[in-house]
Amino acid sequence: MPSVYGRCWGSLMGKPLPMELRQRVVDFVEEGHTHRATAAQFRVSIKFVNDMVILKRTTGSLEAKKQGNGGGHGKLSGVADWIGRRITEKRDLTLDELVVELREEHGVEAHRVSVWRHLRGLGLTHKKRLARHRAEAA
């Protein structure tokens, strides 16, 4: 059965579904339809129907929760300025060396991928090579 919205909403992963759809789904369930029938009617997952009914029951609202982590709450947020200064001071610092310095100087146990993502956010993604692997000057 085609969706009243002209498409299947499953392809919008990552974006909250429209408030109108949320309300119509809950209203349909409240009219006495099963969650399975509601999911088929609106071409959404049964989990979505369950989630909307629970959300309405617990909060009284169908507003979507804020997505994402909001930024600035990770392990590296407290040493972000230090990381920027350290890279500026020593441009040839490798990712592994930076991970060791974070552990030794700040007690921050961070995976190298987390540190790389932080550096990428600063625009510093150039791959560094260890001194022993660099070509020797002529």
Q: How far is it, in rounded angstroms, from Cα 109 to Cα 75?
A: 8
Q: How far is it, in rounded angstroms, from Cα 48 to Cα 38?
A: 10
pLDDT tens digits for the chain (138 residues)?
444 444 454 444 478 899 999 999 999 999 999 999 999 999 999 999 999 999 999 999 999 887 765 555 678 888 888 988 888 888 888 889 999 999 999 998 989 998 888 888 877 765 655 566 656 555
Q: Where do the structural domains in the chain lie, given as residue ranges?
A: 9-59, 75-133
Q: How far is it, in rounded angstroms, from Cα 27 to Cα 10?
A: 20
């921050």: which residue's tokens?
Answer: 108
Q: How far is it, in rounded angstroms, from Cα 124 to Cα 30?
A: 53
Alpha helices in the chain (DSSP H): 19-30, 35-42, 46-59, 80-89, 95-106, 112-121
